[in-house]
Structures are given as C-alpha cells and as structure tokens.
Structure 1
Amino acid sequence: MPIANALTIDVEDYFQVSAFAPHIARSEWDARECRVERNVARILAMLERHDTRATFFTLGWIAERYPQLVRDIVAAGHELASHGYGHQRASELSAAEFRADIARAKAILEDVSGQAVLGYRAPSFSIGTGNLWALDCIAEAGYRYSSSIYPIRHDHYGMPDAPRFAHRTNGDLIEVPITTLRVLNRNLPSSGGGYFRLLPYALSRWMLQRVNEQDGEAAVFYFHPWEIDVGQPRIPGIGAKTRFRHYLNIGRMEARLERLLGDFRWDRMDRIFLDRVPAAGPLGH
C-alpha cells in the first residue's frame, strides 16, 4: 500500500497573512470581510469527495469567532490542531508571550471542539536556530507534536540544517518538519504553499513521489483556505514580491488540489506520526 502522507491546512484568513502585517493592523481584523468560513466549507467538501482526512492547524482567533467552523472540522473526522492564537510569529515574541499565546489557543480550541489538541504549527514556520527554546514551551503547554520548522533557506523563515524528517526534540515532543527534497546537497521545498502554486503540478508530484520512494518517508503538505479564494479583496500598497507570492495561480489551486488528492494517499498528522517516532534520533535515520 502507498505511504500515507499528511495533508494539513493552516486555517487563517487572507488579512492575517504575515506578509500583510505592515499594511493591515490587527485592530482592523474584526472590521474586515471574513471569508474563511466559506473557504473551509469548500475544502471540507473536497476532502469528503476524496474520502480524505486531514489536520487543520487553526488560529484561536478564528475559533473564538467561528466556533461552528471548528465543530464542522471535527465532525467530519479531521484532526484539529493549533496555529497559535493571533498569527504572531514565534520569532517576534518573548518566551512569556509565546507561552501565553499557545496556551490560550489550545484552551480555546479544546473548549470549542470538546477534544484534546495535540499538534501545533508556528505561524510562518517561525521556529529556527534563534528561538529553539520555543520547542520546550510547546511541550510544557501539553502539545505532543510540532510542525514548525522548515529545513530550507528563505527570506522570512527556514532552518536549512535541521533534520528533514520527524524526530523527537527533547523529552516526548515530536517535531515534524515541512517536507523537502534533497538534491545536490540542498533542500528543495516540496510541500505546498506558494511553491505548489508556482511550480508545474507534475514537478510537485514528482518531488513528493521521490520523498515517498527514495527516502521512504511520509511527506507533509500544507495550504491555506485563502489560496482557493479568487474573490478575496486585493490589498492595496503591497510590494510586487508580496503581490506575486500571495496571488499567483490562486485560480488554479483548487483543481491542482483535486489532482493531488487523487494521486497520493493522505491522512491526519496524529495518525501518521504519533507513536511512530523512536525515542532518539529522526524517524528512519
């Protein structure tokens, strides 16, 4: 049977994207048109068509305002996990602020869903060499795994020398890095997001297949609800790079996801990684 890969959705709205922070104040969030409910509903319908279960890393801010969205995710058999409360980068918070953020989000998500929340993903993959203390905070808050480190070089995030596959960090916390493909001593992004919209679908599919077949590992794929929303408001004043990264090929994203769901086997993060990682060292290495 083919390897089951982890399908993950970072549940945030278009105005909460980190790249838009200089242009949209947090104080404006409640006044913005919120489109996350309809986009998550479309995603849930797509997953149901493919009989696929996924992990939804959800902001506490979203869960507070749209509790039915959270309940719909859980009722459909998906894993509910934490994306923090207000989409603040871990690298921009003190240890005390970070602890408060992830504890607040966990409490809200568990209260709304009635279920334990075991997983956490830092906004913008903002855990790296400069704030590895955050992993201790995540474990102390009661999470069992994190998916917060991206082993690539990027202008906003990345820890290229980090292990590429799931491993225990310290104690019982499992870190499940975002998937990369190792080519010529360099890690190439191969796990979704803007790269999936940028690259030809055949190349993205090939990279995931290589991770499954060459490394023998489960891949972690991610995307956001706003990435299928062609009708989202355009944010004025943003730079050309930000505009390119955010809006590129949004109109093609849903069809590509449909193909992806058909081409690979998918499941939730907790089912794939919890209890599979040995007590020391990365999984399979």
Structure 2
Amino acid sequence: MTNGLSVDVEDWFQVGAFEDVIERDQWATLDDRVERNVHEILDLFDEADASATFFTLGWVAERQKSLLREIVARGHEIASHGWDHERVFRMDRKTFARDIERTRKTIEDCCGDRVIGYRAPSFSIDHRTPWAFMELAEQGYLYSSSVAPVAHDHYGWAEAPRFAFNPLPWDPMVELPVTTAEFRGKRLAAGGGGFFRVLPYAFSRWAIRQVNREAEKPAIFYFHPWEIDPGQPRVSGAPIKSRLRHYTNLHRMADKLRQLVKEFSWGRIDVIAHREATRLQAERAAKSSVAL
C-alpha cells in the first residue's frame, strides 16, 4: 500500500499557534529558516526514495522561487496551502476565491507545474464553509486534503468521512482527509504533525497499519519544515499551551521521520487522489447500474 506523504511548507512564525502574538507585517523581518529545512527534508526523502507533495504558502513561494523549482526537479508535487495561512472559516467566499487564485498563479509562475491540489491552513474546511469545495472545483482544483475528521480545539470536522470522498455530488473532485485511527469506537488523530512528534513512534506505526490492513486505505500523513528545526527562535510571548505544542520533541523529529519513510511506502498526494477518484467513480457507476 502506497501512502500519501505531505509537507505543509510554512515557516516557524507562520503557524496557527503563534498567530495572536506575531503579526503578518512582522514576517518579512524575522529569521527565514524554511529554505534550509526543506533542503534537509528533500535529502531525507532521497535517502528513502520517497516522493511527496509540498503544500506551499503563496507568501513562501513568492520569496523562494528557486526552492520550489528544486522540489519539482527532485520529483515531488507542489500544491497550494493558501497565501498566508489564514484559516478558511475566517474568510468569506470572495476572499477565499482571491486567496486560492493568487496562490496558484504565484506557485505556477515559480515552478512551471500546474497546481491541482489544495490543503487548507490548519485543516480549516469544515461544516462552516460549504462553499469552499465549490470554489475549489470552479477554479479547477482536482483534489483537496483539507479535512481533519476529528474533534479538536483548533480545528476538526468530526462528522466528516474518515477516508476519501466526493464533497460535491456533481463534480469528481476528491477530498482526502488526514489520517485517523479508531480505538474502542473513538477516532484518534494519527496523521502527523504535533501528534507524531509528541506520541511514541509505535502509535503511528499501529495507526498506519490499521488503516492499510484493516481499512485497506492509504494513510495521509503531514508535517512541517519547522518541526525538524530545534534551533529555531523561541516565541516567549505565546501562551504556554501553544509553546508546548510547538516545541515539544523538535530534536527527535528528523530521526522519527527517517524511520517512518523507510518503514512504509510513500507517494505524492496527486497520485493517491487520482487513484481514489477513480475508485469513487467506479463505485458510483456500480450503484447507478444497480439502481437502473
């Protein structure tokens, strides 16, 4: 089973944990560490012969054109992560439309590849944003990986399906939710990020095997470049809970990732999306035949 590997390309000062203490107009003055971190990730992926999708902020793409070209040259996919990490449920549809259009154009101008995928910052597509999928489809996106089907204090759509689904009945666009596991009837977040850093590696191994073997589905895993960077600046003014979430086990992350990418088979999200879209289309066709 080939699983979906993804990197949300944003720098340490652009994360949701610090959005209330670091203003966007400060970003250009802060220590830019995304380039060195992404290069380390690219080398790590090369070691394991793993391919991935890099969901990239437009703000980063505008300033790191050569980095985006290198990502593509090494065989990975570039997709959209929105312009400046604004959560979707804080926008209206017109603002969201401008955001994803601007980001896609910037990324495509940087690297020359067509952008067909999108991930909402902080998995912020949920029941409050029914128009988001419609806008993505209208702008030609073929897939999204923007839903966390769990309950969480910052994000989450607990009622959403755990695995790939068509969010619009009239369009083939597919949504690939980030991976969850099930234990005693409860859903557990298991798709990467802070959960991967904080919890024992054995938990992630168990969760991915559950998804692959019991559900016979690909896992969708993500992390951020700043998560392999224990030397990043510390934000002293942030709440203690945010700092704990952000800084815990940064020094262990690279080794855990190296183990993960070597233990399982990984591929680009666009490849997974195409496969799942084909499966969903076949299932719909089969249901239609039965109905007739």
TM-score, normalized by the shorter chain, greater than 0.5: yes
The structural deviation recorded for 1:66 is: 0.8
- Residue equivalent to 2:89: 91
- Residue equivalent to 2:17: 19
- Greater share of helix: 2
Q: Distance in 2 between matches of 1:276 and 1:177?
A: 12
Matches within 5 A, 1:191-206: 191-206=191-206
Residue ranges of structure 1 left out of the alignment (5+ in a row): none
8 Å CA contact retained: 1:82, 1:119? yes
Q: Distance in 1 between matches of 2:139 and 2:107?
A: 13
1:173 counterpart letter in structure 2: M
The structural deviation recorded for 1:172 is: 1.8
Q: Distance in 2 between matches of 1:56 and 1:141?
A: 20
- Residue equivalent to 2:173: 173
- Residue equivalent to 1:227: 227
- Residue equivalent to 2:267: 267
8 Å CA contact retained: 1:6, 1:268? yes
Alignment root-mean-square deviation, CA: 1.2
8 Å CA contact retained: 1:197, 1:249? yes
8 Å CA contact retained: 2:78, 2:115? yes
The structural deviation recorded for 1:21 is: 1.0
The more displaced of 269-278 and 242-251 is: 269-278
Count of residue pairs brought into register by the alignment: 280
Residue ranges of structure 2 left out of the alignment (5+ in a row): 285-292
Q: Distance in 1 between matches of 2:95 and 2:216?
A: 38
8 Å CA contact retained: 1:149, 1:159? yes
The structural deviation recorded for 1:45 is: 0.5
The structural deviation recorded for 1:94 is: 1.0
Q: Say if 2:243 is the partner of 1:257.
A: no
- Residue equivalent to 2:290: none
Superposed CA offset, 1:1-46 (max 9, x none): xx00000000000000012111100000100110000000000000
Q: Distance in 1 between matches of 2:180 and 2:134?
A: 24
Superposed CA offset, 1:206-242 (max 9, x none): 1111110010000000000000001100011111110
Q: SS where residue 281 of structure 2 aligns?
A: coil
Aligned partner (choices 263, 278, 281) of residue 279 of structure 1: 281
The more displaced of 219-228 and 186-195 is: 186-195
Q: Distance in 1 between matches of 2:19 and 2:191?
A: 24
8 Å CA contact retained: 2:174, 2:276? no
Q: Distance in 1 between matches of 2:159 and 2:183?
A: 14
TM-score by length of 1: 0.96
Q: Are residues 61 and 178 of structure 1, via their aligned partners in 2, closer, same or farther at CA, if it must alter by over 3 Å? A: same
Q: Distance in 2 between matches of 1:132 and 1:157?
A: 15
Q: Distance in 2 between matches of 1:90 and 1:231?
A: 30
% of aligned pairs identical? Answer: 49
Q: Distance in 2 between matches of 1:196 and 1:227?
A: 10
